[in-house]
């Protein structure tokens, strides 16, 4: 088990470019120790014969084929435009 001591906290403080107060250092030591204890406990579990998970669920994405299509719906799309010029949306000029 890795021990979280003042040296480790000082190193983390330097790497993260943070300045921690004494109370914050003590809280951080306790929290990091709890996290390491949790991983130590997890590492004792026998995982022999268990395949790693790729996804959390059995859902599979349905991908469509990437095929270029010639869609000629310009007139339908342009019918929603407040103003159109030669199949382009006309917008007010914002730069002079």
* Residue 10 placed within a domain: yes
* Residue 17 placed within a domain: yes
Structural domain harbouring 16: 6-43
pTM beyond 0.95: no
* Residue 75 placed within a domain: no
Q: Give the mean model confidence (pLDDT) for residues 1-30.
A: 92
Q: Each residue of 37-90: pLDDT tens digit? A: 999 999 999 999 988 888 788 888 788 888 887 777 777 778 888 888 887 888
Question: Could you write out the three-class secondary structure of 18-87?
Answer: CCCCHHHHHHHHHHHHHHHHHHHHHHCCCCCCCCCCCCCCCCCCCCCCCCCCCCCCHHHHHCCCCCEECC
Total count of domains within the chain = 1
CA distances from 43 to 8, 15, 48, 50 (A): 22, 27, 12, 14
The pLDDT value given to residue 64? 82
């Amino acid at each position: 088990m890795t021990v979280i001591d003042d040296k480790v906290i000082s190193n983390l403080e330097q790497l993260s470019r943070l300045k921690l107060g004494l109370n914050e250092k003590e809280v951080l030591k306790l929290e990091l120790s709890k996290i390491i204890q949790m991983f130590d406990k997890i590492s004792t579990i026998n995982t022999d014969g268990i395949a790693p998970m790729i996804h959390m669920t059995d859902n599979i994405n349905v991908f469509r084929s990437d095929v270029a299509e010639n869609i000629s719906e310009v007139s339908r799309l342009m019918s929603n435009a407040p103003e159109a010029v030669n199949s382009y949306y006309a917008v007010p000029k914002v730069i002079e």
